[in-house]
Structure 1
């Protein structure tokens, strides 16, 4: 989940907190609504990932793994890394990447934009 989304708090408390809603960069994850196609009963949990971390990991996936993906992929990998202590060596984890990076060339794959946002030194 991204900061600015209501999903995590709603999942944990059942409360739709409008104070959780504010603008965020990462597209395709998180919401300021509760879509009918999200079944919170089958979701184990959410972890929050910052826009900065999502963007940095999106670039890393491209540079280190040759995977040209959308920003939600960077968020998914960073979220997985944040949760790694919950897994054992025998656990199987599946991460779905549903987007490609072509729509983000001017953002996550543009170092000037990344610097302007404060995501790169």
Structure 2
């Protein structure tokens, strides 16, 4: 049955990505508990702050949000950070109402390549 890949046979096989036209090799054999030693707990947190106010003719709203994710791989190789700023304001007179809304968002993603060798 090949559902879990080839049998561990100890033969030297290519390992990792090709870098500068060179690739590492390693014995294809079982390593005790290597998954628990490698992975770490993932973290996800979101911070927000906002302010609003106004009077009978004018109102405003301002918010800032940070969303950060650090995945299960060591270091920050699988991380995501997003920052969002939103603002709204309006003012009305007897004959006119003016409103504005501005949103800005920026994000940074670090992703781990999937696959091995030429399929990465």
Fold-level similarity (TM above 0.5): no
Shorter-chain TM-score tier? under 0.3
Q: Of Structure 1 and Structure 2, which has the larger fraction of its residues in helix? A: 1
Tell me the TM-score normalised to structure 1 length: 0.20
Q: Normalising to structure 2: TM-score of the pair? A: 0.20
Larger relative contact order, structure 1 or 2 (CA cutoff 8 Å, min sep 6): 1
**Structure (1 or 2) with the larger CA radius of gyration:** 2
